[in-house]
Chains A and B, each alone.
Chain A
């Protein structure tokens, strides 16, 4: 690794060797100073005297490292440290982990795998990677340090913070890499990345040979990617004894992690949390929303200063509660001289500037000497782990959250309100003790806590469709799916369903081996069905359009439907509506957006006027260009049918089927609103958000969800003939059980045969 420095900086270093050169005052320039020759001296460690020079890899101590940190020059760049650096350093030294730096290093030296437990606020995410950096000395070995995060935002913001702490430029020594964005350079030593990103890298580098140490942060969140990474690293660790692994978790029941990683040693660091007093209700509540609202009001009326965090389940519930609390507080202020209270909602689909409002200061007391003001945040469980809001003293926890759970039998993804886990209840309560001792009000009985709540939230791997995961595993070189050593192996049926889907998509051959198509599909950071649709789109002369649709389907809903302007929003959506379905409507909206953008209009304003989400459209645009690049590298043609051609939309609809032929439903009977999914025979309705008004007999759908009912979302009208033509394997009528769908398909097949016979006769 190189330490390039400008000559001006060298002047300050008072390097005796160079002083001599300067002292000569000669015209002969030190070749090392010649910027054109710099590359020859890249490996020259004497470019400046770094305290790191006497460090021995895996033999450093905390004292040594502290000295290096205290030095006037940045040991990594040789640039003098800024004033700010020392200020940050002081606060860093106050963090709880800092006291155990030596202990950490001892553990780190003695074991290949280490489980590290640090409660929120211990500073583990920012500090531990730096401690490793000072010990691993990646500039000598060329092997990077990776630290994974479950969320993109966290990876970005933590990388920025650590770059500041090390007094370096983000993207130089410290960088980050997330899907569709890579901010690292040749000098990068420490890399923050999403867990999914590391997994994608592992697809091409099975041994993770670029890395000397991998830190899995927030392992307790048990995301799909983290789970797979853990199993993978477990395998790699046996082959690569030089690879160090640190698993970091915020919960104290790390025993499972320890057992899983060959009884790895455990190091625990206390957090900087205050005690939280927990209250239960003596009896169950009849209406948890009502109870939650009242509790918030009572806290406001009678508890001392401190902000309130209320957990509810979904957008609608949250907005409703916010409104009610707001109204009641107004009453309270009018009638009983209560302090002012600001109420903020917080949920995933809220635009960022509104999310930002939760960090606003609580309102001031309305008059001098009056009751203090406070803020109340009504949030989904994103406030449970992902976000840290200081100043929260009271937590109100009704004990529910919305969870996505996949059912491999019916292939429905349910998004339902369900009881949280004990672990998650404790996490929620812990939020109250960030700044000072707090209180947590649980709107259920202690008995319910003990009996009705499961211990741990189900990890994502048990709740998801694994088609994508299986494809990734195959690509990662995992042959034996049955005995792949996952911490929580999924249900066999889920695995079967994934295999089956991949087989029908021709990503796996009949022996379960990855096909060329499968290998290509895994190059795309998409679900297999989407990837296959994209790859086969040139055959239908509409890869440009399918690319746009794919991008639009991989971002959140682009339609904005604010509560106070629903009707207007629906009218606007109707402008883009295509009678044949939602996929085409999406495409129309995207084309209109691009048209407006190219027409020189203010895209943001235009989106606002048309009730479209500028944020999601521009991110779809970004995704599109990334996918386009992948297509280009793999030689997938980008073609379009001319818009005037009457086949234009038909081609697109047919191309949809190439990936989604397994997601088709037929109307149960004429005049019925109920559809039946093919093969699984589930009764579904079309989601009310659709633009499809005239009921079609056959539709292809993008998702099948269970919310209040079983709905299919984003549907487009298709013709049954296409099914037999495009996916003859899946629509082998002989394999169907006797049903209306079978007889309908038989009729269609008969029709085709007759038409062909007629053609033949001519």
Chain B
């Protein structure tokens, strides 16, 4: 926490681990154990026990405990977000010293750069959430692309954003996952039918996730919803939609085109996500909205984590479209969650914006300089 953190004074004794006792080899216990044939460093228990392979260090010394007095989640670091900076510059060198191949180093470097860039974008503008809207096959929107189309269309269209998106993962998991994904891609290329099925289900998952996104965002602003729903119905016909890769923060906008909602699947989709379509449409011309979106930088991360988790969870809701349309309250039109707190960036950008506005507004300037007109 650094200097700003709460002070936590704890008085320690001279010998908090009581090494005085543990070093003492004259104690009664030590004597008895030795008399029975124990040697320091040995495990207790039967000699050459068959089950000894399962013994851990807990069998040789007492279990060490850590005093946890916060509610930090499992695996979270206290100084998450302000790790030591500047080490990036040396990664290349360190990697080489560790004997990594140039190719590996190059990919790592790229991944780092992508990560940095997307982090920058995310911090500066925030991310926009999109909802899966199906596939345009010919002139029909479908739930998933046809088998043949997987290669031709899906390959470039959806794998690429996935690739880009995975970099945005701000955590260490990103690299791991990307590896996994890469293997996925390879598999795809082998054109195995099974794989495709799998992928299909994955797609569906992504879809439902996305829909759920909308849903949860919607809940937050149910007040605005009614008006917007009307709008959404209008925009129904021209459902411009976007693909959003699963589990990712970053989104690649793909306006695939206008389409008639002819296929059943698409219809059900639309019933579940009318405002998302509208949302996407809006986002096309939505410079205005950007401002709003900026606002939510603050605790977006937290939220998003949860959203995302949720997303994947919500599969079943969407799997049954009838139910989903029943259960979903109306949306707000914002795919990004609305922030409640504030951050440094937020305050600053708002301040700058206010200043700019003031300078642009002559009435305000007059007021500031107390010029009577």
Interface residues of A (CB under 8 A from B): 256, 259-260, 263, 279-291, 294-295, 298-299, 301-304, 335-337, 371, 398-400, 405-410, 414, 416-419, 439, 441, 443-448, 451-453, 458, 462-463, 480-500, 503, 510, 512, 674, 676, 679-683, 706, 708-709, 737
Contacts and interface: CB of A to CB of B under 8 A. Distances in A.
Nearest to B47: A483
Contacts of B28: 496, 499-500, 503, 510
Interface string B273-310: 00000000000000000000000000001100110111
Interface string B9-51: 0111111111111100001111011011110101111110111
Contact of A490 (B59, B68, B323): B59
Contacts of B46: 483-485
A489 B45 contact: yes
B312 interface: yes
Contacts of A490: 44, 59
B353 interface: no
B171 A282 contact: yes
A695 B169 CA distance: 56
Contact of A482 (B15, B37, B58, B67): B37
Contacts of A336: 219, 222, 329
B309 A295 contact: yes
B71 interface: yes
A486 B47 CA distance: 11
A489 B36 contact: no
B295 to A, nearest CB: 20
Contacts of A294: 306
A586 B11 CA distance: 31
B74 A448 contact: yes
Given A286-B80, A295-B306, A444-B75, A682 B18 contact: yes
B172 interface: yes
Contact of A259 (B45, B51, B74): B51
Contact of A492 (B21, B38, B77, B309): B38
A448 B247 CA distance: 18
A682 B20 CA distance: 12
A282 B17 CA distance: 38
Contacts of A494: 62
Interface in B302-345: 302, 305-306, 308-310, 312-314, 316-317, 323, 327, 329
Contacts of B38: 482, 492
A679 B15 CA distance: 11
A737 B20 contact: yes
A683 B16 CA distance: 8
A282 B305 CA distance: 6
Contacts of B17: 409-410
Contact of A407 (B32, B44, B65): B65
Q: Which 4 A-B pairs have the closest CB atoms?
A: A496-B29, A285-B73, A448-B75, A489-B45
Contacts of B72: 285-288
B16 A682 contact: yes
B310 A298 contact: yes
Nearest to B76: A284
8 contacts: A259-B50, A289-B71, A301-B219, A409-B19, A492-B40, A492-B60, A494-B62, A681-B15
Contact of A406 (B49, B62, B169): B62
Interface string B65-93: 11111011111110010000000000000
A648 B80 CA distance: 60
B63 A405 contact: yes
B73 A683 contact: no
Given A284-B74, A496-B27, A499-B28, A418 B65 contact: yes
Contacts of A484: 44-46
Contact of A288 (B35, B51, B67, B73): B73
Contacts, number: 253
Interface of B: 10-22, 27-30, 32-33, 35-38, 40, 42-47, 49-51, 53-55, 58-63, 65-69, 71-77, 80, 169-173, 176, 212, 215-216, 219, 222, 247, 301-302, 305-306, 308-310, 312-314, 316-317, 323, 327, 329
Nearest to B225: A336
A158 B313 CA distance: 37
A418 B59 CA distance: 19
A500 B306 CA distance: 52
B74 A452 contact: yes
B16 A418 contact: no
A282 B249 CA distance: 10
A288 B75 CA distance: 11
Nearest to B60: A491
Contacts of A409: 17-19, 21-22, 62
From A285, A682, A706, residue with most partner B Cβ within 10 Å:
A285
Contacts of A259: 50-51, 53-54
Nearest to B223: A335
A706 B27 CA distance: 25
A445 B37 contact: no
A304 B317 contact: yes
Nearest to A682: B13
Given A288-B71, A448-B74, A510-B28, A304 B60 contact: no
B309 A280 contact: yes
A735 to B, nearest CB: 10
Given A282-B169, A284-B80, A485-B49, A491 B61 contact: yes
A327 B35 CA distance: 64
Contact of A371 (B69, B171, B314, B327): B327
Contact of B32 (A303, A405, A485, A499): A499
Contacts of B216: 298, 301-302
A283 B305 contact: yes
A695 B73 CA distance: 39
Contact of B44 (A400, A492, A512, A737): A492
A294 B220 CA distance: 13
A681 B63 contact: no
Contacts of A282: 169, 171, 173, 247, 305, 308-309
A261 B63 CA distance: 26
B173 A445 contact: yes
A286 B306 CA distance: 11
B68 A417 contact: yes
A489 B20 contact: no
A220 to B, nearest CB: 14
Contact of B66 (A416, A443, A480, A499): A416
B313 A279 contact: yes
Contacts of B66: 416, 418
A708 B18 contact: no
Given A409-B17, A462-B58, A496-B27, A485 B45 contact: yes
B312 A279 contact: yes
Given A287-B71, A399-B74, 18 more contacts: A260-B51, A279-B309, A279-B313, A281-B309, A283-B171, A291-B302, A302-B327, A405-B62, A462-B58, A463-B63, A483-B45, A488-B54, A488-B58, A499-B28, A503-B29, A680-B21, A682-B16, A709-B10
Nearest to B317: A302
A447 B173 contact: yes
Contacts of B47: 483
A622 to B, nearest CB: 34
A35 to B, nearest CB: 55
Given A256-B54, A495-B29, A337 B329 contact: yes
B99 to A, nearest CB: 24
Contacts of A335: 222
Contacts of A290: 71
Contact of A495 (B15, B33, B305): B33
Contacts of B18: 409-410, 680-682
A353 B330 CA distance: 42
Contacts of A485: 45-46, 49
